Each structure stands twice: as C-alpha cells, then as structure tokens.
Amino acid sequence: NAGVTQTPKFRILKIGQSMTLQCTQDMNHNYMYWYRQDPGMGLKLIYYSVGAGITDKGEVPNGYNVSRSTTEDFPLRLELAAPSQTSVYFCASSSAEGRQNTEAFFGQGTRLTVV
C-alpha cells in the first residue's frame, strides 16, 4: 500500500515563482489536509477537504490555493512564493467510522525553501 504520496520531497523556489505540491492517497479517504510545519511551531492547517469538489480554509490559507477534483488527489498551489512560505509541508488523509475518526495518514513531507 502506498498510503499518502507527496511530491516533490525538496524544492528551492525563487521569490515570486509559483509551484504545485502534489498529494495523492490510495485509501479512498474522504478527508484530506495540508499542513505546514515551522520549527518549534507544531503543525498549522492550511486547507482541508471533506470530499471531492469541496475545500475550505484552515488557519493559514493566505498565499495558497487547493483543488479536489478527485477523491485521490489534493494538490496545493503556491502563487508568488515568499520567504515566509519556507517550511515543511505535509499532506494527510483520514476517514470516519460512524462518528469516530480513523487516524490520519501522513505523507513524508515536502521541504520548501524560498530564496
């Protein structure tokens, strides 16, 4: 089982460039998430999706966009990269059994540096 797959693992961007972080899961999970992790700051939710065609903002959405055209894929788009977006990005997916959440499965992360 592949689980949650993120690409790329590392990327260096110049200020003002744009890029898309790819995320795909093969567990048929309804819920998908994008987080960023800064040193000593825990994980901050950027965007999430509860199903194909539905997305919503998390705590820190500015400078990012997402789409969810299929259950499997949840790409994160950075427009006009800024140094403040230097971070490690994690994609995750989860599901629900009745009213209880299953655990979230995480990708291996994308380390992004904006210079």
| Interaction site with other proteins (CB under 8 A) | 30-31, 33, 35, 40-43, 45, 48, 50, 90, 92, 94, 96-97, 99-101, 103-104, 106-109
The residue (of 82 and 111) whose beta carbon lies closer to other proteins is: 111
Residues 6+ apart with CB under 8 A from 58: 33, 34, 44, 45, 46, 47, 48
Contact between 26 and 94 under an 8 Å Cβ cutoff? The reply is no
Q: Least CB distance from residue 46 to other proteins, whole Å?
A: 12
Contact between 89 and 76 under an 8 Å Cβ cutoff? The reply is yes
- Residue that is written with structure tokens 């977006």 in the block: 85
The residue (of 48 and 64) whose beta carbon lies closer to other proteins is: 48
Q: Least CB distance from residue 16 to other proteins, whole Å?
A: 28
Query: CA distances (Å), 101 to each of 21, 31, 54, in order?
Result: 26, 10, 18
The residue (of 9 and 70) whose beta carbon lies closer to other proteins is: 9
The residue (of 14 and 97) whose beta carbon lies closer to other proteins is: 97
